[in-house]
Chains A and B, each alone.
Chain A
């Protein structure tokens, strides 16, 4: 677009000025101004102090736990999310619509509800926790509990990004592969999976971003033992309760940087996928 081009392409439809003005005003008041306040606070702290605060042992441990468990949970969800999307798109079986609807449960169920339910389930006296205890395993109040809560939270992201792409995939390509003598497994690996890769990566990044910031479903099951099972968002809450605004801001600024980086990555993946496959 040349610099002389108008800001908006002429149209006969009314209401552009009003709606764009309202959109920008509301966006500024609700999102941009508050985030700006955080960035302003963080910049007045300076990079030096943020890094110093982040390198504090307890903060570092919390950031590492959040980052690693989120990565692990998103990675764990990739094969299972793919499997579920495949089964829902390709096969017809009794209860298919029910299971399709239930995928969104982690989106719809309030995080605090999920949190106490998962804790009750995985605690040493819970249904699954007691079975694990027989094997000498402890799930709740350990990083494994954090991981399982993040698996719950992240699953729909993978399924819901892969499902539509899988549904629109051209079956003729698979027929062609079969005609050329490829076995079913080879066809799936080299004809079906490649066009799904951008969707898988997007779903992975979305699940990861959500998991890093997740609070409600994690804090009950985590046990919140400093240096062991304390997640980064909880640290912000703790610092706020101690009126340590600088510390809370520093941790939040680091987390915000992680979310922005993830968001950027998602946009890059989608731009590349669009250039290559012409959809997504």
Chain B
């Protein structure tokens, strides 16, 4: 391009031609780094990500197929593995919808209304993120185990929470508690109340307004939150480990099953089950990345009018 402009300048014989040709070609802007610096920084970043993130991920699949596809598949012939997969699906199928309902209700109250103590409420909703998963499990044990606060009461009623499904579900709900609310609140705050107010003015009922105006506006953020919530629900280890009692075939979710296999030196089987969860994580990241792409477009479109 600089050649073309120089040729043009020379042909017209203007004095400015000197200035144009004197300028060194492809000079970088003062707010950019030299190409070698840029390449070095990109190389360092990619190298770091490769070493610290990609290598562990690759290891999961390498170890799972170390002894071939037969050994990989044999891991799932074990009835305990099948039980673990089913239990994981069951726990997620209860915990995710529960947090979905909560997330939508909390986002509606927090994003659409102004009330006292709102900032404090948001902090409380974020609380489970900063509590250790082990502590999350422990608090339920302290509450519901036979020595716990409500333990005697539950025992006399014949209800088992700890070392049983309800405990697994509660611990999972606790650790995945903020995901959906956190995705919805900032978006719904940004969108404002005008669309909903217009729907009400036009005579829509509260439910219809929510269903036809609010929900379509936030559907991608909602899906995004559900995905993250689900990935964590299926993969939770610490909290579930504390409340499970490790009863094989009964309270063993997939991550707990991985631990048992690993501690029994059944590495291929452990990594085979782990590779299922890793694949779930990859699918989650893939959809998340795709949503972010399209969701950014949605937001931009929203800003245009």
Contact = CB atoms under 8 A, between A and B. Distances in A.
17 contacts: A19-B105, A23-B106, A23-B109, A35-B127, A80-B45, A104-B285, A113-B235, A117-B56, A117-B57, A117-B271, A155-B52, A155-B53, A174-B31, A210-B130, A213-B131, A215-B238, A236-B132
Interface string A93-130: 10101011111111111111110111011000011100
A97 B139 contact: no
Interface string B32-46: 110000100110111
Interface majority SS (helix, strand, loop, mixed), chain A:
helix
Contact of B106 (A19, A34, A40, A220): A19
Nearest to B178: A31
A220 B248 CA distance: 20
Interface string A3-38: 001011101111110111011001100111111011
B258 interface: yes
Interface residues of A, number: 97
B206 interface: yes
Contact of B59 (A127, A216, A245): A127
A34 B140 contact: yes
B55 A110 contact: no
B177 interface: yes
Given A101-B285, A108-B284, A240-B242, A215 B53 contact: no
Nearest to B115: A8
Given A35-B139, A102-B54, A155-B52, A83 B45 contact: yes
A40 to B, nearest CB: 8
Contacts of A23: 102, 105-106, 109-110, 121
* The 8 residue pairs across chains A and B that have the minimum distance between CB atoms: A213-B132, A110-B235, A178-B30, A34-B139, A215-B238, A216-B237, A101-B289, A14-B206
B139 A110 contact: no
A1 interface: yes
A152 B53 contact: yes
Nearest to A216: B237
Nearest to A110: B235
B74 to A, nearest CB: 18
Contact of B42 (A5, A35, A87, A174): A87
A18 to B, nearest CB: 8
Contacts of A117: 56-57, 59-60, 63, 271, 274
Interface string B112-137: 11111000010111111111111110
Contacts of A209: 130
Nearest to A97: B289
Given A91-B38, A99-B46, A245 B142 contact: yes
B147 interface: yes
Interface in B136-175: 136, 138-143, 147-149, 170, 173-174
A111 B235 contact: yes
B182 interface: no
Contacts of B206: 14-15
Interface in A57-105: 80, 83-84, 86-88, 91, 93, 95, 97, 99-105
Nearest to A66: B132
B223 to A, nearest CB: 15
A30 B130 CA distance: 15
A214 interface: yes
A30 B173 contact: yes
A212 interface: yes
B281 A41 contact: no
A233 to B, nearest CB: 4
Interface stretch (B8-16, B19-27, B193-201, B297-305): B193-201
B56 A233 contact: no
Contacts of B286: 101
B33 A184 contact: yes
B227 to A, nearest CB: 9
Contacts of B60: 113, 116-117
